[in-house]
Structure 1
């Protein structure tokens, strides 16, 4: 596929996803401006990120630090003047905190106090070294089904973790993130997340982000207050890269 053909393919997919978002927002009596589209570019090349940037997207997500590191650098070379924001949405080990703070603007998968501490230290060191200018925006990942291996903080532990994050000058608490349980009812899951978010904002009014909804269930997420949908397959298609 030539770059021109790929751009046309991505443009068509983007238009379809944006149309779904507009319809979902209308059905929920919300403005389409209230919901951000986050392009999940994991397993896809930097050239696709560049094309999506050309088409107007500014927010991109990765779930593996090793893959993201090289892709972020390559994209910067392809589009040095592009406005962009990189999100880490995958499970993150503490020993990767230092590397992630070098490229991520947002980490959406903070699910433990120990990880928050590691990210705060890494961010402080990066700022002191001149490798980044600003604190790291983070979201608390909430486990909605308790499944081990998928990541996420138990709902009852969210307030304590949020307080931990808000208590450091190097992290900024922005909200919550969750993935709907496999085989479960997304409406139930996202209604639960909305309730958790509303309780969190009582003590942390700045934590307004609700990152929820993917290709298959974005309509349900929007109906339950999502402010950011994470879309990969519906936007980019099937997997293209071999994982490094």
Structure 2
């Protein structure tokens, strides 16, 4: 039964988070678990909600918008974590509570315009690249402070912190240590930027060890599934 599969996955992910928190001398309450439901149906989102999960991550607008509409009766925060094109901004702003993938000034301008038009304030994270691999998104670390300042000064947006994905084939602990330094530097200028979004199914522990406040988990929570059509 799907409910029991998800319940078991959640129990194991919670065990791993709690173990990582103990090792890092942190409290479980410091970590927000984002269930990444890309390629999973809205019925899984409802089951997650029944099990107490309120933070849902998606990386494709077409899929996310449909699920957000289908689950509009639930008290959820939708996190947009994928690369965001400017032509999708209006749609994403209509449902997302936090956008993790802000990586260029042009996107800041588009997000601010649509947030004001919609009468919303959107939480934004600066996505930083840790490996400079093309196609993964993210601004180079040296450009992150200026981009953060741009978000902080933009009407309709709130700078909440930084996000990164561990480098392909690299050492996640070393990468997350660099990310933490950058996050702390940005927080000195912007005290409200206290979110560090890092860590997925395979690298939860090093992310938490290096200060992650939000972890984004899909496979370990929901299992492997073929992509849905659309």
TM-score class normalised by the smaller sequence: over 0.9
Q: Counterpart of 2:149?
A: 163
Does 2:53 align with 1:46? Answer: no
Does 2:103 align with 1:107? Answer: no
Q: Counterpart of 2:87?
A: 95
Q: Counterpart of 2:210?
A: 224
Q: Counterpart of 2:109?
A: 117
| Aligned partner of 2:6 among 10, 15, 19 | 10
SS of match in other structure, 1:101:
helix
Does 2:153 align with 1:153? Answer: no
For 1:94 and 1:111, how far apart are their aligned partners in 2? 12
Q: Deviations over 1:33-91 (max 9, x none)?
A: 00110000000000000000000000000000011111111122xxx2x3210000000
Judge conservation of contact 2:20–2:208 (CA < 8 Å) in 1. Answer: yes
| Aligned partner of 1:55 among 46, 51, 64 | 51
Judge conservation of contact 1:45–1:241 (CA < 8 Å) in 2. Answer: no
Q: Counterpart of 2:191?
A: 205
For 1:222 and 1:243, how far apart are their aligned partners in 2? 34
> Aligned-pair distance for 1:20?
0.4
Q: Counterpart of 2:20?
A: 24
> Aligned-pair distance for 1:240?
4.1
> Aligned-pair distance for 1:169?
2.3
> Aligned-pair distance for 1:243?
3.7
Unmatched runs of 5 consecutive residues or more in structure 2: none
Does 2:68 align with 1:72? Answer: yes
> Aligned-pair distance for 1:167?
0.5
Unmatched runs of 5 consecutive residues or more in structure 1: 128-133
May I ask how many residue pairs the two structures share in their alignment?
A: 230
Q: How much is the aligned-residue C-alpha RMSD, in angstroms?
A: 0.8
For 2:226 and 2:22, how far apart are their aligned partners in 1? 33
State TM-score, norm by structure 2: 0.98
| Runs ≥4 residues deviating over 4 A | none
For 1:201 and 1:170, how far apart are their aligned partners in 2? 20
